């Protein structure tokens, strides 16, 4: 993927990164597509997903994926001006749960390389700001997500950290 076509938006839980990404999508070349990666595994998360849906409004087409993010991107390439992926952390968690994280990550990077002129905005949690994770499983997830965020930041024309609803552009080096 050309560096000019990828924007990475990082932030903590409930930092405002999704709202910021939606504002970028509204200003980006269209048509736009929203790719939702979250899957409701409990009632609280189901309510959060419903609130996100209500906040987006009906004018944005939505594709919901579990581990099929690379395929969704490949399908969108050339058909949409901009694709917003929210959120990479949910997708990576689903890939870990399915037991195919390395294969799915490789497929994601390949799909991003094949996007052509389609712009991509990716939202992801920056998990490295919190306390040390209490279990080996959580620490492994944090390391994997951190590594993937770094790979995407290297490919991005723009990386942004959102804190308390405020966006801070991150320098390249």
Q: Are 119 and 95 in contact (CB under 8 A)?
A: no
52 is annotated as an active-site residue? yes
Cα–Cα distance, 138 to 116 (Å, whole number): 35
Nearest to 37 by CA among 83, 106, 94: 94
Q: Spell out the residues 6+ positions from residue 163 whose beta carbon is closer than 8 angstroms to its own.
A: 11, 12, 15, 16
Q: Does an H or E element contain 45, and which?
A: helix 43-56
Main-chain phi, psi angles of 119, to 5 degrees:
-80, 145
The residue annotated as part of the active site, out of 5, 17, 52, 119, is 52
* Residues tagged active-site: 52
């Amino acid at each position: 993927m050309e560096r000019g076509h990828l924007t990475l938006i990082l932030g903590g839980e409930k930092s405002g990164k999704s709202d910021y990404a939606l504002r970028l999508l509204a200003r980006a070349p269209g048509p736009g597509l929203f790719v939702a990666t979250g899957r409701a595994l409990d009632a609280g998360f189901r309510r959060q997903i419903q609130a996100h849906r209500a906040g987006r409004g009906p004018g944005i087409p939505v594709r919901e994926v579990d581990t099929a993010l690379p395929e969704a991107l490949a399908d969108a390439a050339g058909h949409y001006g901009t694709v917003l992926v929210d959120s990479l952390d949910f997708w990576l968690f689903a890939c870990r749960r399915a037991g195919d994280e390395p294969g799915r990550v490789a497929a994601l990077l390949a799909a991003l390389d094949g996007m052509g002129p389609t712009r991509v905005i990716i939202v992801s949690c920056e998990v490295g700001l919190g306390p040390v994770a209490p279990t080996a499983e959580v620490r492994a997830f944090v390391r994997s997500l951190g590594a993937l965020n770094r790979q995407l930041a290297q490919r991005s024309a723009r990386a942004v950290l959102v804190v308390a609803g405020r966006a801070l552009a991150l320098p390249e080096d």
